[in-house]
Amino acid sequence: MRKIIAIVLLAVIVMGISLAVREIPFGKTDTKVGEYYLNEGKEETGAANIVTSVVVNYRGFDTLGEIAVLFTAAIGLGAVFGSRKKKKDAEEVEKSSLIVYTGCRFLFPVILLVGAYIFIHGHLTPGGGFQGGAVVASAFLLMYLTCRGKRIRDKSNKVVESLGGLIFVGIGLVGLIIGKGFLFNFLPKGEFLTLFSGGIIPIIYIAIGFKVGAELTGVLDNIIEESK
């Protein structure tokens, strides 16, 4: 009986979605706002990557909300896992083999460099703070898997995370002080397609990259420490 109900429900949902999707004209710009971003975005923000100009400039306040969601999730996880008292290296952890250890030690800075490249060049090439931060966190994950027993310093991780958030909000508030509105692009646009262009966009994306990287690393640290 339950299976029949599930199949009927699934059929209704599939029919609804397919009917809705058939009505949407994919690949055409029917919305005025999307066309505006494509045509005017480059001149207005100075960023070559239009996705970035939307995420950080036009919809910067939404991005602040996203950062806050991630921050809340990390804090919740820390509250659940971090409240238990830490075991003080009670057991000897088995060391990974020499080849794995050496290979990972060689790869770690390269992955960090890729992550940093992604979030520093967020306004020129695809990618940005979130993607770069995730890549940085995956580099730390590699370190956790190979150099077991080693941990990042809890305090410096928290300092980096807080500084990233503070810089984002601080730059937003400067725009408010000038009198143009929160997250107003007050810096000069610079030369198009160079690293120093786009006004506040690269600064905010670097802050987001550090913050997301530190947050995801903190989440991994909490979970791995708990799983010992």
Partner 1 sequence: MNVIIATVLVLVMLVSAIAALVFKDLLNAVIALSVVSLIAAVIFYLLQAPDVAMAEAAIGAALVTAIFIIAIRRTKRFEE
Instruction: Give the residues lining the site for partner 1 (CB under 8 A).
Output: 51, 118, 126-128, 130-131, 134-135, 137-138, 141, 145, 216, 220, 223-224, 226-227
Q: Which is nearer to partner 1, 193 or 223 (CB)?
A: 223
> According to the 3-state scheme, what is the secondary structure of the chain?
CHHHHHHHHHHHHHHHHHHHHHHCCCCCCCCHHHHHHHHHHHHHHCCCCHHHHHHHHHCHHHHHHHHHHHHHHHHHHHHHHHCCCCCCCCCCCCCCCHHHHHHHHHHHHHHHHHHHHHHHCCCCCCCCHHHHHHHHHHHHHHHHHHCCCCCCCHHHHHHHHHHHHHHHHHHHHHHHHHCCCCCCCCCCCCCCCCCCCCCCHHHHHHHHHHHHHHHHHHHHHHHHHHCC
Q: Which is nearer to partner 1, 118 or 171 (CB)?
A: 118
Smallest gap from residue 9 Cβ to partner 1 (A): 18
Smallest gap from residue 117 Cβ to partner 1 (A): 11
Smallest gap from residue 170 Cβ to partner 1 (A): 26
Q: Which is nearer to partner 1, 171 or 216 (CB)?
A: 216
Q: Which is nearer to partner 1, 207 or 216 (CB)?
A: 216
Smallest gap from residue 226 Cβ to partner 1 (A): 8
